[in-house]
Amino acid sequence: MKERIEELEALFEKALSEATDAAALENLRVEYLGKKGHVAELMKGLRDAQDKKAAGQLINVFKCGVESRIEEATEAMKQAQINARIRNAKKYNPTLAREREFGSYHPITLATREVEDVFISMGFTIENYNEIVDDYQCFEALNIPKHHPARDMQDTYYLDNGQLLKTHTSAAQNYIMKKYGAPLRAIFPGRCFRNESTDACHENTFFQMEGMMIDENISISNLIYFMKTMLSEVFKRDVKVRLRPGFFPFVEPGFELDINCEICGGEGCPSCKNSGWLELCPCGMIHPNVLREGGIDTEKYTGFAFGLGLTRLAMMKYGVKDIRDFNSGNLKSLSQFKSI
């Protein structure tokens, strides 16, 4: 028995060393450990053995040895295969990837969303409004009666049904006040139209964003706070703001709001006409007549309103030099505004 086992061990080692793939190993396993394999055969021979216990132990040691040797060999072979795969792996080149086309947002969408996000975070609601309005909404409700010089400033597109293309987002003020009543905080971005010939700095179609806040004690001090906060968020810096008196019939007092020029840091440069300040947004305390037209109790409530030139803001933010690019549909320029 012992001799037989030693003989088999030698044979097994030889066969194992010659096995080069998984199938050969499997054959070897069947040959030794299978139902009719050498180990089974040895077990049969156990009946005739003198010292069954000792013989049994010898067989068992042999069996375990074969098992672990095959396992080791299988593992080694797997490892060798993986090593071979690694060795033969194709080296990829990320620098040669073909550029995929990305979609793009309109720059106005990007600028609008940025401003909207700031105001949403401060509890303002966003409202959409028509592009076509009545004389009442655009002028009358805003304390701009007929023959008022303010109507001269705005060359309006009139429609053959008597309506007009809104010349400013303020045209939505009356609607919003009537819809929500006081207290109220809302912003309303929208497209505006003025009948003027276009060039690099002028467009007849452009975007503004109007905002209103009405409550019991809204003050000029609050107006400055909200404007400064919003603009600091939008420009991602601590902007300095200053108010100057400005005349708009729908606010009293009315202001022009300037921010310190980013380009020269307030030192004075051609962009800010050497003043160190950029005129950015007209604003003011809502005129009592306008509140009254909107059904708001002027004794109880005050409010402020502002109009932000979104198109101008987008030009400043993205360095767009020609305002006409916005409505050009030219993908060579518009496709650059990839994400938010």
Partner 1 sequence: MFLSMNWISDFVDLSGLDKKALIRNFTLSTAEVEDIIVKGENISGVVTARILSVENHPESKKLHLLKVDKGDEVVDIVCGAPNVREGMTVALATVGGQVGEITIAPRKLAGYTSYGMCCSEAELGISDDHSGLWELDGTLPLGADIKTIYDIDDIIFEVDNKSLTNRPDLWSHYGMAREFATLTDRPLKAPACVDVDGYKNLPAVAVDVKNTDLVWRYSAIKVENITRKISPVNMRIRLYYCGSRAINFLADLTNYVMMEIGQPMHAFDCAKVDKIEVQTFPEGRKFATLDGVERNIDENMLMITSGDEPVAIAGVMGGDASKIEDDTTSLLLESATFDGVSVRKTTTRLGLRTDASMRYEKMLDPELCRVATERLLALLFECDSGAKVISSFTDAYVKKYPTITLDFDKNYVNRYTGIDISNERIVKTLTGLGFGVKNNGDDFSVTVPSWRATKDVTIKADIIEEITRIYGYDNFEIKTSDSPLRPVRCEKRKSCEDRMKDVLVKNYRLHEVHSYIWSDSKKNAELGIETPDNVKVINAQTPDHAYLRRSMIPTLLSFVKENKSYADSFGIFEIGHTVEGLRPDGTCNEQNKLGVVLYSKTEDEETLFLRARDIAAELIADILHKEPVFTSADAAYGYEHPVNTFAVLAGDVLVGTLAVVHPTVLSNVDKKCAVAFFEISTEAFAAVESGALKYREPSKFPEIDIDVTFTADLAALVFENVKCTAKASAGALLSDVKVADVYTADGVSALTLRFSFVSDERTLTKQELTPVVDKLTADLSACGLTLKA
- Among residues 9, 31, 127, 322, which is the contact residue for partner 1, using CB under 8 A? 127
CA–CA distances in Å: residue 16 to residues 61, 81, 190 = 18, 17, 82
Question: What's the CA gap between 274 and 267, in Å, rounded?
Answer: 7
Amino acid, res. 190:
G
SS3 (DSSP) at 206: strand
Q: Half-sphere exposure of 238 toward its Cβ, with a 13 Å CA cutoff?
A: 0
Residue 4 is a binding residue for partner 1 (CB under 8 A): no
- Least separation in angstroms between residue 201's CB and partner 1 is 17
In terms of Cα–Cα distance, which of 23, 234, 267, 260 is closest to 118? 234
Please say which residue, 73 or 186, places its beta carbon nearer to partner 1: 186
Among 26, 27, 33, 104, binds partner 1 (CB under 8 A): 104
* Binding region for partner 1 (CB under 8 A) out of 6-14, 62-70, 78-86, 219-227: 219-227
Question: Shortest gap between Cβ of 75 and partner 1 (angstroms)?
Answer: 33
* Residue 153 in contact with partner 1, rule: CB under 8 A: yes
Out of 86, 92, 162, 319, the only residue in the binding site for partner 1 (CB under 8 A) is 162
Residue 293's CB: how many other CB atoms inside 10 A? 20
Residues 265-324 binding partner 1 (CB under 8 A) are 273, 285, 287-288, 302
Q: What crossing angle do the helices spanning 38-45 and 2-18 adopt, rounded to 10°?
A: 180
149 binds partner 1 (CB under 8 A): yes
CB nearer partner 1, residue 50 or residue 197 = 197
* Cα maximum dimension of the chain: 130
Please tell me whether residue 252 binds partner 1 under the rule CB under 8 A.
Answer: yes
Query: Which of 51/131 has CB closer to partner 1?
Result: 131
Binding-site size, partner 1 (CB under 8 A) = 81
Nearest to 156 by CA among 196, 199, 189: 196
Task: Answer yes or no whether residue 94 interacts with partner 1 by CB under 8 A.
Answer: no
By CB under 8 A, residue 334 contacts partner 1: yes
Half-sphere exposure of 181 (CA within 13 A, CB side): 2
Rank residues 70 and 210 by Cβ distance to partner 1 and give the closer one: 210
Query: Among the candidate windows 34-42, 85-93, 100-108, 316-324, which touches partner 1 by CB under 8 A?
Result: 100-108
The reply to whether 105 sits near partner 1 by the rule CB under 8 A is: yes
Nearer to partner 1, 17 or 221 (CB): 221
Of 206, 189, 137, 166, the C-alpha closest to 307 is: 189
Nearest to partner 1 of 134, 140 (CB atom): 134
**Shortest distance in whole angstroms from residue 149 CB to partner 1:** 5
Does 331 bind partner 1 (CB under 8 A)? Our answer is yes
Instruction: Please state, in angstroms and rounded to a whole number, the distance separating the CA atoms of residues 283 and 145.
Output: 20
| Sequence-separated (6 or more) residues with CB below 8 Å from residue 281 | 227, 256, 257, 306, 307, 308, 309
